[in-house]
Amino acid sequence: MRELLASPSATREVLEKFGIHAKKKYGQNFLIDANIVRGIIEAAEITKEDCVLEIGPGIGTMTQLLSRAAGRVVCVEIDRSLEPILEYTLEDCGNVDILWQDILKTDLSRVAEDYNGGRPLKVVANLPYYVTTPILMELLEKKGCFSSVTVMVQKEVADRIKAGPGSRDYGAISLAVAYYAVPEVAMIVPPSCFIPRPGVDSAVLCLKAFEEPPVDADEKFMFALIRASFNQRRKTLANALTHGLACGNQRLTREEVVSALEAMGLSPTIRGEALGLEQFALLSKMLKKV
């Protein structure tokens, strides 16, 4: 039985054996705390009934324990130089498949179809900080592919995702995630749990996907409003939407926005950061032109 990697000594031994160094361009930081790895798997509620998609298995630290907990594990890894090390560390893991490709270029619907009969997957990942938001949005927008997404992210990203209207951290990502899933922070992970140590705390974020969105709105138009609102967040909403909306050929006048806000009982000088998801959904309905 291959030794588990989730310890400093075992990780260093394998890295030295294969001459592997963490690559900054892929945002690689290797977990070395078994309790954290087990905590992630527990937070994801993985059972033998589940097929798990792991993004960026690295040297296989979490993959080893996912293999024991899940029925099947499909890993997507962009760094092909890790192939010999994963062959070694996952030698005993017969229920693991590895796809050597970029997760942002992966046909996620096809993965669900090929490896889980089209049923929703559960995602577990230690995401590279530099590409966290694009990966999260790619996952969440693939409705029906995933029942949950449990990821290690930079703590400040988790703070932004969990933030509510009026707070400093609140932004477009807060609203985007709230449209697709319920976010919860399962634990905070200090830099000492990684090799090499990152410069900031991390957080394990659990996203349970909605079967149906919590608001009724034209998704494309609503998110165009949200982006315009936060691209110029110090401007009033009326000014931001008048000058910053980018959605096909639709343009808005300041009078149209002010009229809609007043009909909602909101001040014409309100900023986008004060509106919640339901308010943006209602505003988008009022402003959408056929």
Confidence at residue 169, expressed as pLDDT on a 0 to 100 scale: 94
The answer to the question of residue 37 being in a domain is: yes
Last residue of one domain, picked from the residues 190, 209, 228 = 209
Same domain, yes or no, for 121 and 254?
A: no
Backbone angles phi, psi at 74, to 5 degrees: -115, 120
Which is more confidently placed, 244 or 117? 117
| CA separation for the pair 92, 81 (Å, rounded) | 20
Backbone angles phi, psi at 255, to 5 degrees: -65, -40
The answer to the question of residue 2 being in a domain is: no
Please answer whether residues 193 and 173 qualify as being in contact, where contact means their C-beta atoms are separated by less than 8 angstroms: no
- Minimum mean pLDDT range among 91-100, 166-175, 194-203, 248-257: 248-257
| CA separation for the pair 127, 124 (Å, rounded) | 9
The range of the structural domain enclosing residue 258 comes to 219-287
Alpha-carbon 116 to chain mean position: 21
Does 266 score more than 80 pLDDT? yes
The answer to the question of residue 72 being in a domain is: yes
Which is more confidently placed, 221 or 22? 221
Same domain, yes or no, for 259 and 172?
A: no
CATH of the domain at 227: 1.10.8.100
Same domain, yes or no, for 34 and 109?
A: yes
Query: Which amino acid is present at 169?
Result: D
pTM here is 0.90
The answer to the question of residue 157 being in a domain is: yes
Last residue of one domain, picked from the residues 209, 244, 265 = 209
Same domain, yes or no, for 39 and 165?
A: yes
Same domain, yes or no, for 182 and 256?
A: no
Confidence at residue 127, expressed as pLDDT on a 0 to 100 scale: 86
Does 25 score more than 70 pLDDT? no
The answer to the question of residue 214 being in a domain is: no
**What pLDDT band is residue 22 in, cutting at 50, 70 and 90?**
low
CATH of the domain at 187: 3.40.50.150
Please answer whether residues 215 and 281 qualify as being in contact, where contact means their C-beta atoms are separated by less than 8 angstroms: yes
Pull the structure tokens for residue 13: 């031994």
Pull the structure tokens for residue 163: 């933030």
Please answer whether residues 77 and 22 qualify as being in contact, where contact means their C-beta atoms are separated by less than 8 angstroms: no
Same domain, yes or no, for 131 and 247?
A: no
The count of structural domains within the chain is: 2
Last residue of one domain, picked from the residues 175, 209, 243 = 209
For all residues of the chain together, what is the average pLDDT? 92
| Alpha helices (H) in 125-236, listed in sequence order | 132-141, 155-162, 172-180, 219-231
Q: Residue 138 CB: number of other CB atoms within 10 A?
A: 16
The DSSP secondary-structure symbol of 272 reads G
The DSSP secondary-structure symbol of 189 reads E
The answer to the question of residue 200 being in a domain is: yes
Please answer whether residues 180 and 209 qualify as being in contact, where contact means their C-beta atoms are separated by less than 8 angstroms: yes
What is the per-residue pLDDT across 90-145, written as a single tens digit (0 to 9) for each?
A: 999 999 999 999 999 999 999 999 999 999 999 999 988 888 999 999 999 988 89
The answer to the question of residue 142 being in a domain is: yes
Provide the angle, in degrees to the nearest 10, between the axes of the packed helices 237-244 and 254-263: 140
SS3 224: helix
Same domain, yes or no, for 180 and 225?
A: no
Same domain, yes or no, for 223 and 169?
A: no
Same domain, yes or no, for 144 and 54?
A: yes
The answer to the question of residue 234 being in a domain is: yes
